[in-house]
Structure 1
Amino acid sequence: MQDLSGGKRFIAYITANKWMAVAVGFIVLLRFSFIGIMGAMPQDAYYYFYGQHFALSYFDHPPAIAWILRAFTDLLGAHVFVIKLADTLVTIGTLLAFYTLARCFLPKERAWNGLLLLGATLMITILSLVSTPDVPLLLFWTLSLTAVYRAVFEQRKAWWIWAGIAMGLAFDSKYTAVFLPAGAVLFLLLSRQHRRYLWSPWFFASVLFFFITILPVVIWNVDNNFASFRFQSSGRVGGVEFHPLDFFGVIGHQAAILMPVLFFALIYYVYRLVRKYGWHIHRISARQLFLLCFFIPVFGIFLLISPIYWVKINWMMPAYITGIIWVSTWITFRYVRWQWICSLIIHLALAVEVIFYPVPIHSDDTMIGWKGLGAGVKTLAKEYPDDFIFSADDYKTSAMLNLYLGRMVYSRNIIGENALQFDFIGTDINALKGKNALFINSLTDVNDDVDEQEFVEEELAPYFSTIRSLPPIVVTRQGRVVRKFLVYRCMDYQPPRADNDPGHPKK
Structure 2
Amino acid sequence: MIRFSVVIPTLNEANNIDSLLACLFAVDLPPGSFEVIFVDDGSLDGTPEKIRAWEGRANVRLIERKSRPDLQASILAGVAVARSDVVVAMAANLSYPSEQLPAIVAPVLDGSYDVAIGSRYASGGSTEGGPLHRRWLSRIGNWLARLIFDVDDVTSEFFAFRRELASTIAGQGQENKILLELLMAGLGKLKVVEVPIHFRGRKRGISELPFSHPWSYLQRLMTLAGGSVTTGTANRFAATTLLCVIIDAGLFQLLMSSGTGLALAHMMSFLAAAMVNYTLDSKWSFWLRHPRPLRWHQTGRFLMVGGMALLIRGGVLALLIHGWHVPPILAIFPAIATTAAINYLGAAFYVFPAKQNSCSSDIRWRVASIGIVVLIILLRLIYVGEGQLIPDEAYYWNYAQHMDLSFYDHPPMVAWLIWLGTAIAGNNEFGVRIGAFVSGLVTMGYLYALARNLYDKSTGMRTVLLLAILPFSFATGMLMTADAPVIAAWAATLYYMERALIAGRSSAWLGMGIAFGLGLLSKYTLGLLGIAALLFVILDPTARRWMRRPHPYLAAMLALLLFSPVIIWNMEHQWASLSFQSSRIKGVGDDQFSTHLLFLNLLVLLTPVGLLAAVLALLPHDGHDKSQSARRRRLFVWVFTGTPLAIFFVLSMFDSLRFHWTAPLWLAVLPSIAWMMGATGDLRGITRSLQAAWKPTIAICIFLYALILHYAVLGIPGVPYPTYLNHYFWREATGEVEKIVEEVQHQSGQKPLVVGMSKWPIASSLSFYNRKEPMDIRSRNMFGDSGAMYQFWYPSEPPTTRPIILVSIEKKHLECDRWGNDITRMLDRPGPIESLLILRENKPLRWVYYRVAHGYLGIIHHGC
With structure 2 as the length reference, what TM-score do the two structures score?
0.52
Task: Please tell me whether Structure 1 or Structure 2 has the larger radius of gyration of its CA atoms.
Answer: 2
| Structure 1 stretches lacking a partner, 5+ long | 277-281, 444-448, 497-504
Comparing 77-86 with 337-346, greater Cα deviation is found at 337-346
Aligned twin of 1:378: 738
Question: Could you tell me whether the CA contact under 8 Å between 2:400 and 2:416 is conserved in 1?
Answer: yes
Q: Measure, in 1, the Cα distance between the counterparts of 2:840 and 2:779.
A: 28
Q: Measure, in 2, the Cα distance between the counterparts of 1:393 and 1:206.
A: 42
Q: Find the residue that maps to 1:261 and give its secondary structure.
A: helix
Q: Measure, in 2, the Cα distance between the counterparts of 1:73 and 1:29.
A: 21
Equivalent residues in 2 for 1:359-398 (5 A)? 360-363=721-724, 366-367=727-728, 369-383=729-743, 384=745, 385-398=750-763
Superposed displacement of residue 304, structure 1 = 4.3
Q: Measure, in 2, the Cα distance between the counterparts of 1:46 and 1:316.
A: 22
Does 1:174 find its partner at 2:523?
yes
Aligned twin of 2:612: 264
Aligned twin of 1:490: 853
Q: Measure, in 2, the Cα distance between the counterparts of 1:321 and 1:263.
A: 13
Superposed displacement of residue 325, structure 1 = 1.4
Offset from partner CA, 1:369-425 (integer Å, 9 cap, x none): 211111112222223251111122121101101111255511111101121011122
Offset from partner CA, 1:223-261 (integer Å, 9 cap, x none): 2122111211224544855566x4343333322332332
Higher relative contact order (CA 8 A, sep 6+): 1
Q: Measure, in 1, the Cα distance between the counterparts of 2:726 and 2:535.
A: 37
Q: Find the residue that maps to 2:777 and give its secondary structure.
A: coil
Question: Could you tell me whether the CA contact under 8 Å between 1:292 and 1:326 is conserved in 2?
Answer: no
Superposed displacement of residue 9, structure 1 = 4.5
Question: Could you tell me whether the CA contact under 8 Å between 1:43 and 1:130 is conserved in 2?
Answer: no
Question: Could you tell me whether the CA contact under 8 Å between 1:45 and 1:399 is conserved in 2?
Answer: yes
Comparing 43-52 with 319-328, greater Cα deviation is found at 319-328
Q: Measure, in 2, the Cα distance between the counterparts of 1:301 and 1:346.
A: 32
Aligned twin of 1:325: 671
Match of 2:560 among 191, 200, 211: 211
Distance 1:203 1:326, change over 3 A: same
Equivalent residues in 2 for 1:228-267 (5 A)? 228-235=577-584, 237-238=586-587, 242=591, 246-267=594-615
Offset from partner CA, 1:100-140 (integer Å, 9 cap, x none): 22222121111111111111112232112222111110111
Match of 1:316 among 644, 662, 668: 662
Offset from partner CA, 1:433-473 (integer Å, 9 cap, x none): 33321111113xxxxx4x34543895322212210136433
Offset from partner CA, 1:140-167 (integer Å, 9 cap, x none): 1111222223333443323322211210
Aligned twin of 1:8: 145
Comparing 187-196 with 121-130, greater Cα deviation is found at 121-130
Does 1:288 find its partner at 2:634?
yes
Structure 2 letter corresponding to 1:390: V
With structure 1 as the length reference, what TM-score do the two structures score?
0.86
Offset from partner CA, 1:348-372 (integer Å, 9 cap, x none): 54245424263644446743x2111
Distance 1:478 1:254, change over 3 A: farther
Equivalent residues in 2 for 1:52-451 (5 A)? 52-235=401-584, 237-238=586-587, 242=591, 246-271=594-619, 285-332=631-678, 334=691, 336-351=694-709, 353-354=711-712, 355-356=714-715, 358=719, 360-363=721-724, 366-367=727-728, 369-383=729-743, 384=745, 385-405=750-770, 407-425=775-793, 427-430=795-798, 433-443=800-810, 449=811, 451=812
Question: Could you tell me whether the CA contact under 8 Å between 2:387 and 2:709 is conserved in 1?
Answer: no
Match of 1:466 among 822, 829, 834: 829
Superposed displacement of residue 33, structure 1 = 2.1
Structure 2 letter corresponding to 1:105: L
Question: Could you tell me whether the CA contact under 8 Å between 1:387 and 1:437 is conserved in 2?
Answer: yes
Question: Could you tell me whether the CA contact under 8 Å between 2:753 and 2:775 is conserved in 1?
Answer: no
Q: Measure, in 2, the Cα distance between the counterparts of 1:321 and 1:45.
A: 27
Structure 2 letter corresponding to 1:422: Y
Superposed displacement of residue 480, structure 1 = 4.2
Superposed displacement of residue 29, structure 1 = 3.3
Q: Measure, in 1, the Cα distance between the counterparts of 2:654 and 2:720.
A: 30
Aligned twin of 1:500: none
Q: Measure, in 2, the Cα distance between the counterparts of 1:495 and 1:453.
A: 16
Does 1:455 find its partner at 2:816?
yes
Distance 1:161 1:283, change over 3 A: closer
Q: Measure, in 1, the Cα distance between the counterparts of 2:585 and 2:723.
A: 25
Q: Measure, in 1, the Cα distance between the counterparts of 2:427 and 2:540.
A: 49
State the number of aligned residues.
Answer: 485
Question: Could you tell me whether the CA contact under 8 Å between 2:447 and 2:460 is conserved in 1?
Answer: no
Comparing 143-152 with 91-100, greater Cα deviation is found at 143-152
Distance 1:25 1:206, change over 3 A: closer
Offset from partner CA, 1:462-500 (integer Å, 9 cap, x none): 21221013643321246443311112112221223xxxx
Does 1:41 find its partner at 2:409?
no
Cα root mean square deviation, aligned: 3.2
Structure 2 letter corresponding to 1:463: M
Superposed displacement of residue 81, structure 1 = 2.2
Q: Find the residue that maps to 1:390 and give its secondary structure.
A: strand
Q: Find the residue that maps to 1:417 and give its secondary structure.
A: coil
Superposed displacement of residue 211, structure 1 = 1.1
Distance 1:222 1:15, change over 3 A: farther
Q: Find the residue that maps to 2:427 and give its secondary structure.
A: coil
| Structure 2 stretches lacking a partner, 5+ long | 1-116, 118-140, 149-221, 228-348, 352-367, 680-690
Distance 1:264 1:7, change over 3 A: farther
Question: Could you tell me whether the CA contact under 8 Å between 2:447 and 2:667 is conserved in 1?
Answer: yes
Structure 2 letter corresponding to 1:296: G
Question: Could you tell me whether the CA contact under 8 Å between 1:41 and 1:365 is conserved in 2?
Answer: no
Q: Find the residue that maps to 1:429 and give its secondary structure.
A: coil
Superposed displacement of residue 15, structure 1 = 6.5
Question: Could you tell me whether the CA contact under 8 Å between 1:259 and 1:342 is conserved in 2?
Answer: no
Q: Find the residue that maps to 2:424 and give its secondary structure.
A: helix
Structure 2 letter corresponding to 1:378: E
Offset from partner CA, 1:165-190 (integer Å, 9 cap, x none): 21011011001011121111111111
Q: Measure, in 2, the Cα distance between the counterparts of 1:314 and 1:107.
A: 30
Distance 1:283 1:253, change over 3 A: same
Question: Could you tell me whether the CA contact under 8 Å between 1:473 and 1:484 is conserved in 2?
Answer: yes
Q: Measure, in 1, the Cα distance between the counterparts of 2:618 and 2:504.
A: 29
Q: Find the residue that maps to 1:36 and give its secondary structure.
A: coil
Structure 2 letter corresponding to 1:18: Y
